[in-house]
Amino acid sequence: MRRMRMLVLTVVIASLLVVASMGSAFAQETTVTVWAWQFPADCAQASMERFNALYPDINVEWEIMGPGDVYDNLLLALSAGEGAPDAVCLESSHLAQYVALGGLLDITDRALPYYDKMETAKWVEARDEQGRIYAMPLDSGPVAIWYRRDIFGNAGFPSDPESVAELLDTWDDFYEVAKLVKERSGVYMFADPGSSDGRLFEMLLWQQEAGYVDRKGKVVIDSPKAVRTLEWLGKFHKEDLVQDTSPWTAGWYAGIDEGGVATIIEAVWMGGFLWSWITPGSAGNWGVVPLPVWEKDGVRSSNDGGSTYAITNQCPEEKIEAAWKFLEFFTADRQALVAGWRLLDNFPSLMECWTDPLVEEEVAFFGEQKYRKVFTEAAKKIPWWNYTKDYSEMNSIAQVYLTAYNLGDETDAQEALTQAAAEIRARTGRE
Amino acid sequence: MAKQGQEIKKESLFKKIRKNKIPYLFISPFFILFAIFLLYPTAYSFYLSFFKWNGTGPKLYVGLLNYINLFANRPFKQSLMNGVIIFLEYVPSMTLLALILASLLNSKYLKLQGVFRTFIFLPYVTATVAVAFSFQLLLDKKYGLANLFLGFFGTEPIGWLNTPNLARICLSSLVTWRWLGYNMVILLAGLQNIPLELYEAAKIDGATPTQSFFRITLPLMKPMLLFCILLSTVGTFSLFEEPYILFLPSRGAGPMDATLTPVVYLYQTGFRYLHFGSASSIAYALFIILFLASLFEIKILGEKK
């Protein structure tokens, strides 16, 4: 009797299990986990509804954390062999490190159709030495000059974008204007810490296609172009022409908000930060002009930052298709990218977005300027640059020698960069 | 013969454990957690320090190379130097201040002791992000309160956080501000253990309060002071959170690596540059250095028998 009861019970449980698994097979809902920080997640949120309507069987589970935590946690998960998300947002500056680690899924065949549709500089870090592709470009960071119309006006300069662009034709002109702005109105031209974080220096080098390494991976941070750039930046620090404060600190925000700086040399995503929370009160006073050039016919474009989406190699086989759908939608769906662009100045790497009517919109915050046009033009000319897997280490080494030069501990720019190059070579094993 | 003896001994130990298995079961969670989260990582990182490893790929055996490279490594040497400078900048003054505050709070003449104690201890439990933001506000070159105040006396703006020596002083001040209360509480506990009769006897013998401080308080507090100084030594070389949040753009390194502590450098080497082998060798080199420093301090300050 007891045995009979056990048998019945087993049959009942077994059939329940079968029904349960059939149920999920009918629903076929796949959950894709995504790690990202607030900025890309906010931009994606604007199109989440469309994504859900298009792919009702894919459920996206966001896990939002600081970018630093994304990198640390991803590293631990890859190292442990489990715990990584299916898809992850990675900045271009960190991407090469994770490609080199072998933690990302090879998506060459799926990504290849988009190869010619994306801004070309974005693919450099997404590929390994064999040319395989591991990430989809999300946004680019074309750089221009954000300037305060009121400060230029008060200093006796014209303040409309056309005239300011003419005024700031070369970086030498920029320096001369900086001196006059400070003299006439007591306002610094821009903010940059004497204790350098290297970011502005890198932007200025990127404009000249003169980064840490050349196309063969050789260290070239001691090149004549780099020396001239450091000498130019050093002048501002030595002559007290720059607000000496670190980006993303209280004094930096205050300088921008209170009109303590006349310009910001920064990428397009700065716009979203400016009007949404750093300085909503100064609406209408801002304008955007292209970068000055280093020599006649030079490139008026550079890049700072920008991110990508990748699938990790821990994404289970049966979920790869869903994870790819997520990647494809949020990096290559024109409407989704334009939504993020409008929302927070998340500039699409997908080039077909650049002809969107959004570009022609006049924006009140920027004095009714079609400011997105400036960045679109700059994006078309972003020079080649490779962050490489050693970027974090090279940047921290450069910081030391740039600071030594800015503070006058090292008086010769060539010597400072020669030392930086030597240390980079010794520590990274590069030529 | 000897071997046999050992086996008998082992067996008896095992037997002992079996006999007392219930008590051992009750204390086992600590040992299990200790083994998993401390013993294993400690041993594993020692093993790792002889390899080149990026965190996921194959490990390459390199012998003592990681250790040898440390001798020529500029940031590592700089970080040790920073540790020494920062230690001298804040440990003696903070410990003395903590002792004075503890004595004041221990005296029966002071009112509202609980309130003062809480206020002095408060920085220790304040969220670090808020601390960082406040200190940046305070120390900014153009908009900082410190320079505004000095400006009244005609001083030119000072780049507190942007020059190596001042950056280290700012960090030392932040550490003092944050850890003063913690040290004070330890010393206060020590003070409360000194029998009051000693002071009464001294008073009857005609000792002034200063005399009883130097002749009674100080000698009896020596073990507590030693404990505080030992903790501060290890704490200085292992400073992480404070420099990291105060110098976020350089990930804790500060101007020209002036606030790069050995543990910040260890973190960068491991988690930012993905050289886990060298990071492990830094950990062990640091362990040896701190071990020797502690021995030295115990020898100098410890009780003579």
What is the structure's pLDDT at B8? 55
CB B61 within 8 A of CB B51: yes
**Can you tell me the mean pLDDT for B174-192?**
92
Residue labelled with tokens 């292209």: A290
Task: Return the minimum-mean-pLDDT range out of A88-92, A424-428, B6-10, B157-161.
Answer: B6-10
- Inter-chain contact A78–B142, Cβ cutoff 8 Å? no
A17 band by pLDDT with thresholds 50, 70 and 90: low
- What residue spans define the domains of chain A? 29-140+305-355, 143-302+364-428
A1 band by pLDDT with thresholds 50, 70 and 90: low
Task: Flag whether pLDDT at A37 surpasses 60.
Answer: yes
State pLDDT tens for residues B239-251: 999 999 888 888 8
In 3-state terms, chain B is what percent helix, strand and coil (to 5)? 75, 0, 20
Q: Is A399 on the interface with B (CB under 8 A)?
A: yes
Task: Flag whether pLDDT at A239 surpasses 70.
Answer: yes
What is the structure's pLDDT at B18? 84
State pLDDT tens for residues A381-402: 999 999 999 999 999 999 999 9
Query: Is CATH 3.40.50.460 correct for A29-140+305-355?
Result: no
- Fold topology of B73-301: MetI-like fold (1.10.3720)
Which tokens in the block code for residue A383? 């020079």
State pLDDT tens for residues B186-202: 999 999 889 989 989 99
Report the mean per-residue pLDDT for chain A: 92
Kindly give, in sequence order, each residue whose CB lies less than 8 Å from that of residue A420, ignoring residues fewer than 6 positions away: A221, A222, A397, A398, A400, A401, A402
CATH superfamily to which A143-302+364-428 belongs: Periplasmic binding protein-like II (3.40.190.10)
What is the structure's pLDDT at A23? 47
- Select from B171, B244, B272 the residue whose CB has the most chain A CBs within 10 Å, as the one to mutate to test that interface: B272
In 3-state terms, chain A is what percent helix, strand and coil (to 5)? 55, 15, 30
Kindly give, in sequence order, each residue whose CB lies less than 8 Å from that of residue B9, ignoring residues fewer than 6 positions away: none
What is the structure's pLDDT at B12? 79
Judge whether A29-140+305-355 and A143-302+364-428 match in fold.
yes
Chain A, chain B: beta-carbon pairs less than 8 Å apart: 103
- Report which of B39, B36, B43, B38 is spatially closest to residue B284, judged by C-alpha positions: B43
Q: What is the rounded radius of gyration, in angstroms, for the C-alpha atoms of chain B? A: 25
Report the mean per-residue pLDDT for chain B: 89
Using a CB-CB cut-off of 8 Å, the residues of chain A touching B251 are: 396
Instruction: Pick B253's closest partner by Cβ from A245, A255, A399.
Output: A399
Using a CB-CB cut-off of 8 Å, the residues of chain B touching A251 are: 136-137, 140-144
Helix A320-332 to helix A334-344 angle, to the nearest 10 degrees? 60
All CATH 1.10.3720.10 domain ranges in chain B, comma separated? 73-301
**Can you tell me the mean pLDDT for B10-14?**
73
State pLDDT tens for residues A312-359: 999 999 999 999 999 999 999 999 999 999 999 999 999 999 999 999
A347/A354 Cα distance (integer angstroms): 9
What is the structure's pLDDT at A25? 47
ipTM here = 0.85
Instruction: Pick A423's closest partner by Cβ from B74, B136, B163.
Output: B74
